[in-house]
């Protein structure tokens, strides 16, 4: 079927790589949204504006985290139904995704706009950047409906095995964002609010273009406002995946906010350095997240088809790829850490603090990658509770208290050490739960006992 990819047949390594590469390229362009904003703001407006942009993102992430979880749940349903070749259920799940996310996005936008200043004050954002932070955050939040719509479309296509189509629209959107940033800030000398306007407009263009294209060309996705149908059963099923996944994302978002709260105590230099290092960190972590997402969809389709033997082989191949990429990323970030930070801002103190972050965290991307791979198998199989538990423990038993305690003695370096320690905790827990194997019984698409096959034969 044109525009889709069946992940239940064929060489596992080849399929995972083919599925991953377009997603990786697309995510590179998506991350460029944040990096372009930071580069232009840091170089043309200054470190105060850079800190204002940086502090907005964890709050946005917190507001949208539950919706991200719902999208994950629905995407896994799409992949499992597609793996089971139940196209009618696939279409009903797609309709349910769009209806749910549209209504929820309007509510989240209203909440974000109404409480924007209170959120900044809760984080103890320095007074000199509070107004810019509120302004950027408010404009960005006003365009969340386009962000949700585009991300929902991407999630649906991934569930169908199609990672190439979203890439084209991401490229167009990112290039448009770059051009508008250069015009508004670099050439016209406008303020930080125009960076947010450029991002929102670019997301709007990408979403509308994707919907128009898919309605004309895709074999399954044909959206019509008059024909959308909300399936309560599918929605309830998605909540079994979506609520734990959403809570997991919320824990991460609150953890980032808590980390920002600790960093903010050390002033604007630390905030700007953390903003820059976080942007670079997001690039470094991206291959792990993309591989995990690819494996999750691979697991989803093969769980739907009842092929546990392929899941095990796909897991092993993903581990091999993750190791090679993570080691390469670590070497680049550690060796070139000072140069990378200085690209964003030339302030010596900002460069010093940011370089220390990359030096401390950079050696642990392999652990981070393996943690994500293990969790992706659990989530793709339909077990969203366990990854939520792992995240809760790693963040709130590990990262936040350890970062706070170490910061009392070692300053910002102590904050940074809390991050890899939490990764080690998360990796250990995810490996234990993967090896226990209970995820094999979590499929959302039920089979008769004689159709689920693993490497040793029939599983009853």
Distinct helix (H) and strand (E) counts, the chain: 17, 2
Please check the confidence at residue 39 and state whether its pLDDT lies above 60: yes
Quote the tokens at residue 358: 């990359």
Average pLDDT over residues 284-302: 84
pLDDT at 188: 84
What pLDDT sits at residue 18?
Answer: 81
**Predicted local distance difference test score (pLDDT) of residue 76:** 73
The confidence score (pLDDT) of residue 360 equals 95
Percent of the chain with pLDDT over 90: 20
Residue-wise pLDDT tens digits, 11-32: 888 888 887 887 777 777 766 6
Total Cβ atoms within 10 A of residue 109: 18
What CA–CA distances, in Å, run from 215 to 1, 20, 151, 222, 225?
A: 16, 25, 17, 5, 12
Q: Does position 368 have pLDDT exceeding 90, yes or no?
A: yes
Measured CA to CA, the distance from residue 164 to residue 218 in angstroms comes to: 12
- Cα–Cα distance for residue pair 31/38, rounded to 1 Å: 11
DSSP state of 307: B
Which run of H or E residues covers position 45? none
The answer on pLDDT for 459 being more than 60 is: no
CA angle 67, 69, 72 (to 5 degrees): 115
Task: Band the pLDDT of 449: cuts 50, 70, 90.
Answer: very low
Report the alpha-carbon distance of residue 34 to residue 14 in Å, rounded. 31
Higher pLDDT, 192 or 318: 318
Q: Is the pLDDT of residue 255 over 90?
A: no
Q: Which residues partner with 458 through β-bridges?
A: 453
What pLDDT, in 10s, does the model give residues 42-92? 777 777 777 777 777 777 777 777 677 667 766 777 777 777 777 778 788
Instruction: Say yes or no to pLDDT of 223 above 60.
Output: yes
* Residue carrying the six token digits 């909440």: 111
Do 327 and 250 meet the contact criterion of CB atoms below 8 Å apart?
A: no
- The pLDDT-based confidence of 457 (bands split at 50, 70, 90) is very low
List C-alpha distances in Å: 74 to 86, 90, 99, 107: 15, 10, 12, 19
Rounded Cα–Cα distance for residues 288 and 30 (Å): 15
pLDDT grade for 267, boundaries at 50, 70 and 90: confident
- Predicted confidence band of residue 422 (pLDDT cuts 50, 70, 90): very high
Residue 446 to residues 20, 53, 304, 372, 429, Cα–Cα distance (Å): 27, 46, 8, 26, 27
Mean pLDDT of the chain: 81
Mean pLDDT across 408-421: 93
56 vs 328 pLDDT, higher one: 328
- Give the residue-averaged pLDDT of 115-132: 79
Query: What pTM was estimated for this model as a whole?
Result: 0.68
Q: Is the pLDDT of residue 4 over 70?
A: no
Residue count of the chain, please give it. 460
Q: Which two tokens stand for residue 96?
A: 């349910």
Instruction: Tell whether the model's pLDDT for residue 364 goes beyond 90.
Output: yes
- Residue 88's pLDDT is 79
pLDDT at 332: 93
Query: How far is it, in rounded angstroms, from Cα 379 to Cα 9?
Result: 21
Cα distance between residue 177 and residue 200, in whole Å: 9
Proportion of the chain above pLDDT 70, given as a percent: 90
- The residue that leads in pLDDT, 389 or 227, is 389
pLDDT at 455 exceeding the cut of 50: no
SS (H, E, C) 372-396: HHHHHHHHHHCCCHHHHHHHHHHHH
Q: pLDDT class for 107, splitting at 50, 70, 90?
A: confident
Gyration radius of the chain's alpha carbons = 22
Confidence of residue 174 (pLDDT cuts 50, 70, 90): confident
Give the least confident one: 186-200, 356-370, 404-418: 186-200
* Model confidence band, residue 151 (pLDDT cutoffs 50, 70, 90): confident
Rounded CA-CA distance 401/64 in Å is 25
CA distance 407 to 205: 43
């Amino acid at each position: 079927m044109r525009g889709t990819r069946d992940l239940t047949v064929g060489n596992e390594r080849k399929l995972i790589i083919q599925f991953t590469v377009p997603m990786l390229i697309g995510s590179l362009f998506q991350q460029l949204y944040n990096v372009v904003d930071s580069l232009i703001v840091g170089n043309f407006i200054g470190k105060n504006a850079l800190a204002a942009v940086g502090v907005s993102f964890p709050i946005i992430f917190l507001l949208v985290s539950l919706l991200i979880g719902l999208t994950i749940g629905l995407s896994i349903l799409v992949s499992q139904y597609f793996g089971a070749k139940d196209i009618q259920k696939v279409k009903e799940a797609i309709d349910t995704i769009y209806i749910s996310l549209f209504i929820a996005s309007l509510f989240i936008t209203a909440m974000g706009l109404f409480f924007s200043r209170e959120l900044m004050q809760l984080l103890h954002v320095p007074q000199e950047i509070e107004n810019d932070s509120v302004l950027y955050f408010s404009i960005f939040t006003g365009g969340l409906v386009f962000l949700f719509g585009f991300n929902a479309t991407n999630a649906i296509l991934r569930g169908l095995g199609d990672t190439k189509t979203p890439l084209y629209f991401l490229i167009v959107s990112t290039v448009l964002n770059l051009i508008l940033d250069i015009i508004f800030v670099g050439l016209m000398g406008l303020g930080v609010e125009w960076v947010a306007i450029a991002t929102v407009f670019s997301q709007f263009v990408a979403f509308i273009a994707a919907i128009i294209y898919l309605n004309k060309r895709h074999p399954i996705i044909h959206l019509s406002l008059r024909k959308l149908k909300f399936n309560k059963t599918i929605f309830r099923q998605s909540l079994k995946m979506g609520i734990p996944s959403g809570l997991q994302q919320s824990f991460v978002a609150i953890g980032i906010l808590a980390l920002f709260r600790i960093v903010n105590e050390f002033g604007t230099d630390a905030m700007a350095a953390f903003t820059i290092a976080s942007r670079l960190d997001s690039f470094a972590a991206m291959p792990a997240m993309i591989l995990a997402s690819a494996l999750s969809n691979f697991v989803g389709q093969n769980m739907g088809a009842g092929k546990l033997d392929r899941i095990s082989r796909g897991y092993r191949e993903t581990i091999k790829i993750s190791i090679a990429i993570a080691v390469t990323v670590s070497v680049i970030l550690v060796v070139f850490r000072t140069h990378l930070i200085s690209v964003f801002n030339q302030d010596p103190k900002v460069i010093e603090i940011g370089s220390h972050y990359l030096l401390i965290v950079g050696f642990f991307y392999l652990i981070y990658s393996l943690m994500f791979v293990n969790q992706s198998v659990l989530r793709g199989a339909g077990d969203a509770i366990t990854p939520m538990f792992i995240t809760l423990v790693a963040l709130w038993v590990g990262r936040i208290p350890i970062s706070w305690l170490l910061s009392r003695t070692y300053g910002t370096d102590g904050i940074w050490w809390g991050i890899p320690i939490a990764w080690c905790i998360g990796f250990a827990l995810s490996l234990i739960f993967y090896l226990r194997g209970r995820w094999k019984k979590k499929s959302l698409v039920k089979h008769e006992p004689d159709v689920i096959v693993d490497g040793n034969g029939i599983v009853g």
